[in-house]
Structure 1
Amino acid sequence: MKGLTAIIPAAGLSSRVGRFKPLLPLDGGTVLSRCVRLFRTCGVERVVVVTGKRADEVAACAMEAGAEAVHNAAFEQGMYSSVLTGVRALEPDVDAFFMLPADIPLVRPETVTRLMDAYSRTRSTVLYPRFAGKRGHPPIIAAEVVPDILAHDGSGGLRTVLSRFEAGARDLDVADFGISYDLDHLEDYEMALAVAGIGYPLADECRELFRLQGVSDHIRNHCRAVAAVASALCERLNGRLDERRAAGTRVVRLDPGLVLGAALTHDIGKGTKRHEAAGAELLRAHGFPAAADVVGAHFDVALADDAPITEKEVVFLADKLVRCHGPVPLADRYMEKVAMYRHEEGAEEAILGRLGRARAVMDRFDREMADSSERIAGQALS
């Protein structure tokens, strides 16, 4: 987007973490390079990194990632001095700019893209991403705020300046916990290592997706029940990896996080035509492509004899073993649909065809788990 710059202050001392945050390894690069890539991926042409401590190393990392570096010689005076350095580097014709501290590296590209789209429509003075009712980073700040930033003495930080422009501020709700997740402590960094780049929502992001979509309690309870069954099936399959391999079966280790996130959101598109496709589209728009692939397949699947069981089949089968929020025999789940739709031409044949494919999937699960899928579902929901 032309006229839009991103400023990334990366000049801090990292005193609380005990390690220099911008250059810590993360997601195939560093904490800083991930922040730079976030904006470059979204089409922000100019990214400015503010350096301070270890300036030469930070500048080299920034430039390698596609940004330019400006040095804050007064970086020990605190964060606002870096804000000033970044703002002074803005070009005179800039329309607006992002502000993202380098220790907030988990923001999803889809969040930035949605912010850019919303700003192009609203031209808000300040546009904040908001997660679970709390504003986070990176806000888009209009150029009209720049004189006030430059004139401010730094007390209260940037937040104090932006509070003067509240009348023209807007919030964009996002299902992205990364907008407010900073690396203040070593355990925060360890968490970032575990979740950076994942393509599925975490539990609190699932809750926010439910809220944003206005999902009913009935559907939420069903999704939670399916998630419990899917997690139990996943655990059983992963626990038997060695035995399954020894039996000559082609197997992959299932990702429990993906199973849980996809199962919790599998019916988020309910109420729309082809709800599985609608749900998948919604998840992709919010930055969860791996979960979207699973959700998009949960209506009907076929599993080839030589193909491994994946997260798609786990969520699919779990959904078919749950009625409302209780366990149900697989055949009953489908025969209920036959009773409801047999008056429609071709419906009974189509439903029975799906039942046959589902039975084949369940038989495969039962063999590889050496247990009954229906029994495991009942136990998970007891």
Structure 2
Amino acid sequence: MKKKRFSVIIIAAGYSSRMEGFKPLLKFGNQTAVERVVSTYQQAGVDQIILVLGHRADEMIPYFENESVKMVINEKFDQGMYTSIVKGITQFDQENDAFFIHPVDIPLVKPITVIQLKEAANQASNGIIYPCFLAERGHPPLIDKKYQKPILENTMNGGLKKLLSLYEEDALDLQLTDETILMDMDTRSDYEALLDYHDLRAPNLSECYAIWDKYQLPETIQKHCEIVKRTAMEYAEQLKKNGIELDLSALRAAALLHDIAKTGKNHAQVGGELLRALGYKKVGDIIADHMDIVVEQGKAVTENEILYLADKLVKNDQLIDLKTRKNQTLDCYPNNPEATEKIEKRYQNAEAIMQKIKRIIG
């Protein structure tokens, strides 16, 4: 089957009247919001990027003069967002099969989210695909080009949302694990919340639970992960009080997700790869080490080591001391020298980590 081609219409034409500052040019790290959105679609391999400008267009054009971005000015931008959608659709490449609609004030959507929407469009026959987070629809919708004409000819009030509601029988809700599809920035407090999220290098709590749902993690494993998380964070917080630098958000996410692939083989490595694929390299690396690890004596305690120890201290959903846990594990493999050697090594590593921590926190 021939893979579909896609466009995106990025709307960056409005006044930003409720925001203290001009939304498209607000900074996230070393990028502006509009650069961040454009970059997302470039990374996701979208074939055509259409950027609709209006208010203060002259300030944004220089950012993309050397980029393969089609910029168009909406002279009617003061009449509302729908006019910008219409203007963008007039630039749609008819060789493409579908288009995203993406307002610039939803700036932190991840490239993997766009890729997953593209994959869904290549597999499903639905003409409208909505990204969803914990069953709530967000942005950007992906719309088949057969709706180009209805959008251009629409005279109803209520904007694009009202128009697309007429075609619910052709819609698909795609459940994803990216909360940023719901996170806009209408106000200064919204922007500050997005800045806090941007600084994370890990899924937040809601996204961790969404990952549980997506991969149907059994309740017994969920309970285990919660206790491992609590144990790991208690150690980490004490270590931080003693001057050890740690990424608490990455450790928390890794603890909640370390057994996300537990029902299959090589679950530590598979789980690590899953999180790396979602864009969380550090979390994936911590998860990949939670079964076997190299303990570096003389160096600071790492997030990887804390998770490794916490996992060994929790059997099912109960805390247990290392010696008892080791003996119980050995009892499961009588007359198996290879397994015995591996178990002994794992608990030697756990004890070494425990000693590193005790030297710091007592």
TM over 0.5: yes
The Cα offsets for residues 173-222 of structure 1, whole Å up to 9 and x where unpaired, read as 11000111101221111121122264321000111111112212221111
Matched, 1:230 2:222: no
* Alpha carbons 1:2, 1:45 under 8 Å: kept: no
Question: Is 1:129 equivalent to 2:131 in the alignment?
Answer: yes
Q: 1:307-326 residue pairs with structure 2 within 5 A?
A: 307-326=299-318
Structure 1 partner of 2:324: 332
| Distance in 1 separating the partners of 2:233 and 2:101 | 39
SS at structure 1 position matched to 2:7: strand
Distance 1:135 1:4, change over 3 A: same
SS at 1:100 equivalent: strand
Query: 1:177-188 to 2 correspondence within 5 Å?
Result: 177-188=179-190
Counterparts of residues 287-298 of structure 1 (less than 5 Å): 287-298=279-290
Who is 1:199 aligned against?
201
For residues 139-159 of structure 1, the C-alpha deviation after alignment (integer angstroms, 9 at most, x for no partner) is 211100000000012511111
Q: Which sections of structure 2, spanning at least 5 residues, go unmatched?
A: none
> What's the TM-score once normalised by structure 1's chain length?
0.90
Secondary structure of the residue aligned to 2:354 is helix
- State, as a whole percentage, how many aligned pairs show the same letter: 36
Of 301, 326, 330, the residue aligned with 2:293 is: 301
Deviations along 1:267-314, whole A, 9 cap, x unmatched?
111111121122223223333222111111111212122433221111
Q: Retained in 2: the 8 A contact 1:174–1:286?
A: no
Equivalent positions of 1:204-283 (< 5 A) are 204-241=206-243, 253-283=245-275
Structure 1 contact 49–59 (Cα < 8 Å) conserved:
no
Cα 1:97–1:63 shift into 2, 3 Å: farther
Structure-2-length-normalised TM-score = 0.95
Over 3 Å counting, the alpha-carbon distance change for 1:66 and 1:293 in structure 2 is farther
Task: Give distance in 2, aligned partners of 1:55 and 1:353.
Answer: 63
Give, in angstroms, the shift of residue 109 of structure 1.
1.0
What is the match of residue 81 of structure 1? 83
Q: Do the aligned residues in 1 keep the contact of 2:200 with 2:249 (CA within 8 Å)?
A: no
Candidates 98, 110, 120, aligned match of 1:118:
120
Change (3 A) 1:2 1:254: same
Structure 2 partner of 1:149 = 151
Counterpart in the other structure of 1:32? 34
Residue identity in the other structure for 2:323? A
Question: Matched residues in 2 for 1:288 and 1:155: separation?
Answer: 41
Moved more, 9-18 or 60-69: 60-69
Q: Which amino acid in structure 1 is aligned with residue 286 of structure 2? A: V
User: Take 2:306 and 2:206, find their aligned partners in 1: how far apart are those partners?
Assistant: 22
Rounded Cα–Cα distance in structure 1 between residues aligned with 2:71 and 2:158: 26
Question: Could you tell me how far apart the structure 1 residues matched to 2:199 and 2:140 are?
Answer: 18
Aligned residues: 360
CA distance in 2, matches of 1:54, 1:231: 47
Q: 1:329 to 1:16 in 2, by over 3 A?
A: same
State how far apart, in whole Å, the 1-side matches of 2:23 and 2:66 are: 17
Query: Out of 164, 167, 174, which is 2:176 matched to?
Result: 174
Q: Which of 135, 138, 141 is the equivalent residue of 1:139?
A: 141
Number of the residue aligned with 1:374: none
* Contact persistence 1:301–1:358 (CA under 8 A): no
CA RMSD of aligned residues (A): 1.7
Gaps of 5+ in 1: 242-250, 372-382
- Corresponding letter in the other structure for 1:329: D
2:11 is aligned with 1:9: yes
Question: Aligned equivalents of 2:56 and 2:231: distance in 1?
Answer: 50
In 2, Cα distance between equivalents of 1:144 and 1:235: 55
Which of 21, 30, 47 does residue 49 from structure 2 map onto?
Answer: 47
Q: In structure 2, what is the Cα distance between the partners aligned to 1:306 and 1:105?
A: 42
The one-letter code of the counterpart of 2:139 is H
Bigger Cα displacement from structure 2, 72-81 vs 211-220: 211-220
Secondary structure (helix, strand or coil) at the match of 1:196 reads helix
Shift of 1:366: 1.0
| CA 1:329–1:64: 2 relative to 1, 3 Å | farther
Q: Which runs of 4+ in 1 moved over 3 A?
A: 62-66
The offset of 1:59, in angstroms, is: 2.4
Equivalent in the alignment of 1:350: 342
One-letter code of the match for 1:182? D
Give 1:83 deviation, angstroms: 0.6
The 8 Å contact of residues 259 and 315 in structure 1, kept in 2 or not, is answered as yes
> 1:345: how far off?
4.3
